[in-house]
């Protein structure tokens, strides 16, 4: 059963702390996306990769957020320092990429910054 996995599922941290979220895309998928979802803003694209190369991170606050793909089985999203306004659900999604634009979402990381 191929699924996107994300860790941790829940994270509560204090303002100013570093937060790292991890994602394992579906094996064989070559595109990976990071989204943030809040009630007010809906689903926002933060960054995405194709074949591990970052293609677009224009949705990310550059001063505090960073996204990487150290290898084909791991994508990371870091926030440093975290702020209360970063509280949201962060989703990772992956897609086959080649001639297909479908995306499959992981279960998400619910982040609360106090």
Partner 1 sequence: QKEVEQNSGPLSVPEGAIASLNCTYSDRGSQSFFWYRQYSGKSPELIMSIYSNGDKEDGRFTAQLNKASQYVSLLIRDSQPSDSATYLCAVFTGGGNKLTFGTGTQLKVEL
Pick one of 31, 34, 60, 82: the residue that binds partner 1 (CB under 8 A). Answer: 31
Sign of CA dihedral 95, 101, 106, 108: positive
Pick one of 14, 102, 112, 114: the residue that binds partner 1 (CB under 8 A). Answer: 102
HSE of 94 in the Cβ direction (CA atoms, 13 Å)?
24
Residues 6+ positions from 75 with CB-CB distance below 8 Å:
22, 23, 24, 25, 32, 34, 49, 67, 68, 69, 92
Q: Which residue, 57 or 68, is less far from partner 1 as judged by CB? A: 57
Instruction: State yes or no: residue 5 binds partner 1 (CB under 8 A).
Output: no
Site string for partner 1, 32-71 (x = CB under 8 A): -x--------xx-x--x-x----xx---------------
Q: Which residue, 19 or 108, is less far from partner 1 as judged by CB? A: 108
């Amino acid at each position: 059963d191929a699924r996107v996995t994300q860790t941790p599922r829940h994270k509560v941290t204090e303002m100013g702390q570093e937060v790292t979220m991890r994602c394992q895309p579906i094996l064989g998928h070559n595109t990976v996306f990071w989204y943030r979802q809040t009630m007010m803003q809906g689903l926002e694209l933060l960054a995405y990769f194709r074949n591990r190369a970052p293609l677009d991170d224009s949705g990310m606050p550059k001063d505090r957020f960073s996204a990487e793909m150290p290898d084909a089985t791991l994508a990371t999203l870091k926030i440093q320092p975290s702020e209360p306004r970063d509280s949201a659900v962060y989703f990772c999604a992956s897609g086959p990429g080649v001639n297909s634009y479908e995306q499959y979402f992981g279960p998400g990381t619910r982040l609360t910054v106090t």
